[in-house]
Structure formats: C-alpha cells, structure tokens
Chain A
Amino acid sequence: MELSETRQGSGSDFLSLLLGTLVLATVITILFLVTHLAASLGAGTRSIDLSAAQGDGRFKSVSENSLSFRLDASGRASIVVPVEALSIDGLSWLTFRAQTGDPTIRLRFQQKVAGTAAVIPLAAIELEGETQRVFIGGSAQFGPGIDEIHINVEGRARSPLTLMNLRLEPPYPAFMLTEFFEALSLREDWYGFSINAITSTATKYLKHVTSFSIAILVSHIVLLVVPAMLLMCSLPALRARSLSATAVTFVLLWMLLDAHWARQLWFTMSNARGLYAGKNEEERLLASEHAVFHKLAERVRQELKEYPDTRIFIAGSNDYAGMRINYHLYPLNVYWRRHRELPDPAHFRSGDHVLVMNPTRHRYEDDRIAYPDGRQSSNAEVVFVSKNAALLRMQ
C-alpha cells in the first residue's frame, strides 16, 4: 500500500502488508518478552505473613501461611494484614489458595501507602476453584511502598473462608503475553489528573510499544530508506516503495497503540452514558461528583433568597471543595481564593455572608470568625450549620 494514489500493484501491496504485519508482530513479541524478562529478573516472590492479620471477621485459626474466619451476619469481613514496607514495583500477580463452601464470595484487596492514611485499590476477585491468581501489574506504585494489605470480603452470612499462601509474584515468562494483554484490557475511568496527561496504569506496558516503534522505524529508515536513497537512485519506484513500507509500518504501529486508547474512550463514554443517560440537569448533577456541592449550593440559595445581591466569601482549606462550591453558587456574587481562605477581616461589610467549608483553618468562636494567626472578624451570626459547612452572616 502506498500513501500516494495509484491503481497499480494492489496485489503486491496486500502481500507486503501481510508480510510486514507478520514480521512486525513477531518482532514485537520477541522484543517484549526479552526486555520484560530482563526488567523482572530483579523481582522475587514475596510471601505475606498472615499471622499478624487483624480484622472484624470471626477468626477461627491464624498461622503464618493460613487464615480461617467466618463472615459476619451481613456477609462481610474486613481483614488488615501488616507488611514491612513492601514495594510492589516489578510484581505482577497476587496468588493464594481459598477454601470455602460459598461460591458467591468476592474479595477486594487494597494497599495502604506506607506512612500515610491513603488506601488505594490493588485487585478484586470472585473465587473460582481453589487456586487464585489475580493480575496486579497495572497497579500504581505510590511513594515508598505499602505497609498494609486490606482484604474486604463479601459473600453469604456467616460463610467460612480459609485463605492460604498469600503471595505477590513477579511476571512469569509463560504469562507475559497474558500479562501484557491484561494490562491493556484494564478499564479505568477519568480522574482529576486525566485532563493534564494520560497516565493510565497500562502506560508502563505501552512504553514497550513506543520503544519498539522507534526501534522498528529507525531500522526501516536505516535498512530501507537510506540505502534506497544512496544506492538505488536509478530505481525511483523502489525508492518510493521503501518510504511507503516505512509509512505503512508506522500506521500499523500507531493503530496498535491507538487500539488501547480507543477502547478506553469507549469505556468512559459507556460509563457516562450508564450514569447520566435519560437524566435532566438536576438528576445528572445529583448522580455525579457534583452532588454534595449542588445540594449545599441549593440550600445556600434558599437561605439567601432575600439577599440576592449579597457578597459570599468561601472559607475552606480544601481547594477542590472550594472550587466546586464556588462554581455551583454562581450567579450569586462569590469570592473564593485558591490556596488562601478569607481576606483580611477589614474587608467584610455588614450583610456579607461567609460559607465555611470543612476542613478549614478558621474557627467560629464568641460569635466571630477566628483566623489561624489570631485575628478576628466582627460579629457574625449563624444562618445554618450542616455536616460539611456553615453559613454565617456578618453583622
């Protein structure tokens, strides 16, 4: 196939394409196996010591390698297994054996980031048979590693469950292609950072594709285009074809990388359709991450019906919450300043309102707003207090 227009040679084009694709697939597979195997040589299997496990499941027996317990009356159990600053980088699989009479049991594994309170998903699995293997290669590594593994179990009320030989394992050569496709098949929804850069968990696997693409393109140029330009000047058709072959390879490599992205776009679109289709503006907001801010803004609007021209100051140390409530309060006349909370108390006027969001560095005491540095506002009365905010009116 040429990227220029011609009626000739479509049969040979097709053969070139077919052969090119086969060669490409073989080269990518070999390069992936070799480089990925090299990358995983340093990582060894880590067995998790279950003897220190704690939890609200009713423990029957606990040893280094096994943990037996019953789910509670609501069919749940939460287990916390402490581990010593464990790095999951280079580890791809979580394996264990499970014995239970309950086929509905579902386990969710979470990792607690060492030295912080952050708990983030690691893997989820529905039990099938006794030996379990779940892919964790796409999980992000945060900071210095993890210091706890959380296991949340759901199933029938009071079902017994025994977990044995819990291990984190490196990639197996035999499973590497499976792992590659597992990584590419992970479906992730948007998160706050998505608008700035695409850092999906499959990125580290896609890096291989990018590296191979560069290698293949450079070889194409060095082995085909340059000799064609230097040595075969008398055969213009061959020169043109050498460039076309490189171009076709490039298009294929692009499509390979794009297949994952297109699937991801389809997934987020389906997700959005599932969440919001058939709903009006109000229902969509209530079904989204806007819900809590939309409800609060509506309440503030109700309270301020008689003061449509009032100025509203937003106090809160969480930038995201401040930004969202600020947006929902418009077209009221709102003041919110990122990274800062309230302006100097001298700027308040009688009749201004202050919406204090949790968390905040300000306090309300002795009918005044207290600043972290000891300053105080003039008197303010409480209009309402809710779980996550309070509205005050300046006197």
Chain B
Amino acid sequence: MSLLLALLVVLAPLAVGVMLTLIAVGKSVKEIDASVLGYGLILGMLLATVILRAMGAANLTLTSSGFLLVSLVTLLFVGLFCKRRLIPPTRHVKQEAVTNNIPLNLSLYQKLVFLLMVALVAAHIIVPAVEASYRPLYPWDAAMHWATKSKVWFENQSLLPFVSNSDWLLLPTDRVAYTDHHANYPPTMPLLQVWICLAIGVWSSSAIAAPWFFFLVALALVFYGQAINLGVSRLCAICFTYFLVSLPMIGTHAALAGYSDFPLGVVVLAALAMLVEAEKKKTTGRLALAVVLAISATQIKNEGFFWALSLVPCALLLFCEQRLAIMLSLGAGLLALTMLFLIPTDFVIAGHSLETLRISFNPQALVAVFAQFTETDSWHHMPVLVLGAFILSVPYLKRDRTLLALLAAMASALFLYLLLFSLTKFSLGALRKTDSVRILLHLAPALMFFAMLVYKRLSDSLRSC
C-alpha cells in the first residue's frame, strides 16, 4: 500500500506534466515522443512544487495524502477539460509523427552505432543515479542552504519562512522563522526534495537525490527529442546526447546530487530549444511553454534570471524582423548598461546588488576562467566543440535565422558569465576554480545544443552544394 501511495505521489504530477506538454505542443496521447516525455518530466516536477506552494499558502498540512489529492484533482481536471485534444478520433493521428522516432532508415552498421550510443547514454544516467540513491547528502552547499529548507518543511509539515541571519536575530519571541546561509534562495529544489520525502513518508538523505535523476533523464529526452524535431539525423542526435550526458560535471552533479546548478542548466536548455521549435512550427502553445520554462529558471536559482534575460535577444531575432530585432537587442543592452550607473547600489536584482557584487576588474580571474578547460577534465572536449561551432556558424548567420538567434542567446549568456567572473566578487571563485566551472553548467546543455545545430547546418550545406 505504501509503495502504491509513493508511486502515485511521484507519478501523478509527472502525468499532469506530460498532459500539459501535449496540450502545449498540440499533440495527442498517441504522439508521445522523447521530447514530450522530457518536457513532461520537467513540467511535472515544477507542478509538484506549485502544488506544495499552494498547499503552504492555504495553510494546509503537507502530507502525502493531501498532496496526492490535489495532484489527482489537477490530473482529472486537465484530463477532462482537454480530453478531445489529448485523445482525438483515430483518423486525426498523424502517421508521420508516430513513426518519427523509429530509426527505420539506418544501415545495419549505423544501427549498431546507434545502439552503442543509446547504451552509453543509459550507462551515464543509471550509474550516477545508483550512486546517488545510496550516498547520504554529500556536497557542501547542499547541506548549507538547499536541504536545510526541505528538512525543516518536511519535518514541520509546513512551509515555515526562512529569513536572513540578521532578521532572525531580531524576530519577536512569538514568531517562528528559520535561517540558513542563503535564506533568499528560491524554494523550488527544496520543494522537490519535500515532494520525494512525502512520497516515501520519511526524511531520507539519499532519496532526496531523486529529482536530480529525473532532471538527468529529462535532459537526455529533451535534447534528443528536440534534435529530432528540428530535423537533426537520429545518429547525430544520439551522438550529441551522449556527448552531453557524459560531461563529467553533469555526471558529478547527478551522483553527488544536491546543488541546483544542473537542474537550472536543464531548464535553460529546455526553454531555448522550445523557443527555437516554436518559431519553426509557428505555434503559440510552444511559445507559451518556452516562456513558462524561462520564468521557472528564475525559481531554480537566482542566476536563472540572467540566463532567462539572455533568451530575450534570441526570441527577438526569432519572432521579429531581423533589423528591428538587432536594434531592439542592442537598445536593451545599452539600457541595461545605463541602468547599472543609475540604479541605487543597494537595489537587489535576483539576489544581488551592485554593493554586494563589489565591482572591480580582475584580469587574472579571466585567465583562470579559461584555464579550467586545460587544468581540469570537467568538460571533456566540449570547449573545442563549442569554439568550433562559434567559428563555423559565421558563414551561415546571414541566411539562417535560427543559428543567428541561438548565437545571440549563447553569446549574451557567455558575455554575462565572463562579466560575472572578471568584474565582481565572484572572480575569487574563478581563481579558486570553484564557482566558475560549476556556473558554466547552467549553460553547458544549451551550448551543446547550439553546437549540434551548427554541425547539422554545416552537414546540410556540404551535402547540398
């Protein structure tokens, strides 16, 4: 009975996530593919946190039965409300979509390579997941400001507030609030840990790693599925998916689950890839999904706000006339730069203010940022791949709007990344090789996606000359 309850608590929101994805991309239940499952997993997890937040706001006790009830009601509501869209009459099912992911036209030799790659992808997902399921919470920040919140919320069955150290000291005796090292961090990841503990009924320092496994599966599914949706060959898509899941930083963050950097990277990729697909397929549902994901990135880690901003030039280039988009992007950049000089130094944006960032240029940190590619094995050959993609994309930028938009998103994100580590207090993190490598994880999946689309463009152009 408890196993059934646990399964239902975990699966109910995920099922709603898959249904919402189907509605957003305009597909029926029979057209579920890798991409839908990947996005469904991400949306389902985000939905679980929304349900918990709603229960907290309504002062409801956080229990597995309460959570399950709300999830099932949501499931029922979405299912009934959108029944006709999810299960259309048989004649409306597109045959092309059903067979889309079956590698029928590969040679035997290519099929073998495809299977080898699938096995490697599976191994890179399963091995870290098995480790995480055994190992009690290991990494530093995980115990310092992520799992602290989930432990308090789960044990008290209530979303009690967390306040800064200084505010906590001044609290009146009749007010209950907690404090930790970063009380202002977004609650999404701790809420996902609460969700898993509600399912199993106890606090477990290793079971709370489960969301990281879900994110890793979602990463592979979204990346592969969107590659196929954008016309990349199956063999190329699976090879790049293997490159992505085998990145040592991703494997490490899945095995030593507890940091929010990796989930943020997955959500940023999902938003970017859906934005590109929305432009290709011209559907508002996909655009809405991309916007929801970009906003969700801000709720996973504060830096998500800046990566979401870096998607704005990409969206402008995809959906506006090119010259207007470039002018708007440059204008927005100039406005942001001007704002830096005008806003009060203690004005907080996404958890940071100019005062706390302590702006000063540190050229050594910039060198250290690039040294991570030679002094550590955090990224395998990804830097070569991405650098090559940036260079090789240049001849196609005039004619290929998608590549130009992706380049704009990646270039603005990398520009912000370099500013962060050369101009702010975080330069220390670059010199110590702590934050600079880890923060690049936010962008690594999206960078890999960009590299894959450049390879596809190059391959198409060589073939068609």
Contact = CB atoms under 8 A, between A and B. Distances in A.
A262 interface: yes
Contacts, number: 233
A375 to B, nearest CB: 16
A257 B140 contact: no
Given A281-B204, A338-B181, A195 B259 contact: yes
Contacts of A6: 105, 107, 110
A203 interface: yes
Contacts of B105: 5-7
Interface stretch (A73-81, A97-105, A123-131, A283-291): A283-291
Which of A10, A195, A324, A334 has most B Cβ within 10 Å? A195
B107 A10 contact: yes
Given A206-B377, A323-B140, A331-B152, A1 B239 contact: no
Contacts of A239: 462-463, 465
Contacts of B433: 196-197, 199
Interface residues of A, number: 80
Contacts of A320: 140
B124 interface: yes
A239 B464 CA distance: 10
A331 B155 contact: yes
A251 B120 CA distance: 12
B236 A203 contact: no
A218 to B, nearest CB: 9
A3 B127 contact: no
B249 A273 contact: no
Given A8-B107, A195-B252, A330-B155, A258 B375 contact: no
B139 to A, nearest CB: 4
B224 to A, nearest CB: 14
A265 interface: yes
The secondary structure that dominates the A interface is helix
Contacts of A253: 381
A240 interface: yes
Given A195-B140, A327-B144, A275 B134 contact: yes
B463 to A, nearest CB: 5
B437 A197 contact: yes
A3 B236 contact: yes
Interface stretch (B42-50, B171-179, B270-278, B293-301): B171-179
Given A195-B139, A196-B433, A243-B462, A5 B233 contact: yes
Interface in A1-55: 1-8, 10, 13-14
Contact of A1 (B113, B152, B438): B113
The secondary structure that dominates the B interface is helix
Nearest to B155: A331
Contacts of B206: 276, 281, 284
B134 A236 contact: no
A14 B109 contact: yes
B286 interface: no
B108 A10 contact: yes
B388 A217 contact: yes
B317 to A, nearest CB: 26
A269 interface: yes
Interface string A89-103: 000000000000000
A228 interface: yes
Given A5-B110, A236-B462, A333-B178, A269 B205 contact: no
Interface stretch (A61-69, A207-215, A365-373): A207-215
B27 interface: no
B127 A269 contact: yes
A228 B459 CA distance: 12
A331 B159 CA distance: 12
A175 interface: no
Contacts of B378: 197-198
A190 interface: yes
A180 to B, nearest CB: 15
A336 B148 CA distance: 12
A205 to B, nearest CB: 10
Interface in B429-465: 433-435, 437-438, 455, 458-459, 462-465
B169 A347 contact: yes
Given A239-B462, A323-B144, A338-B144, A250 B381 contact: yes
Which of B155, B180, B204, B375 has most A Cβ within 10 Å? B180
Interface string B188-230: 0000000000000011111000000000000000000000000
Interface string B353-385: 000000000000000000010111110110011
Which A-B residue pairs are the 6 nearest by beta carbons? A331-B155, A327-B143, A269-B131, A197-B437, A10-B109, A3-B236
27 contacts: A3-B239, A190-B256, A192-B140, A195-B256, A196-B433, A197-B437, A199-B375, A200-B377, A203-B375, A213-B381, A221-B388, A233-B465, A239-B462, A242-B462, A250-B385, A258-B120, A261-B248, A262-B246, A265-B124, A269-B131, A272-B135, A281-B203, A281-B205, A284-B134, A284-B136, A323-B140, A343-B169
Interface of A: 1-8, 10, 13-14, 190, 192-200, 202-203, 206-207, 210, 213-214, 217, 221, 228-229, 233, 236, 239-240, 242-243, 247, 250-251, 253-255, 257-258, 261-262, 265-266, 268-269, 272-273, 275-277, 281, 284-285, 288-290, 309, 320, 323-324, 326-327, 330-331, 333-338, 343, 347, 349
Interface of B: 103, 105-110, 113, 120, 123-124, 127-128, 130-131, 134-141, 143-144, 147-148, 151-152, 155-156, 165, 168-169, 173, 176, 178-181, 202-206, 233-236, 239, 242-243, 246, 248-249, 251-253, 255-256, 259, 372, 374-378, 380-381, 384-385, 388, 433-435, 437-438, 455, 458-459, 462-465
Given A196-B437, A207-B374, A239-B463, 15 more contacts: A8-B107, A10-B108, A10-B109, A195-B438, A214-B384, A250-B385, A253-B381, A254-B246, A265-B127, A284-B205, A330-B151, A333-B178, A334-B179, A336-B180, A347-B169
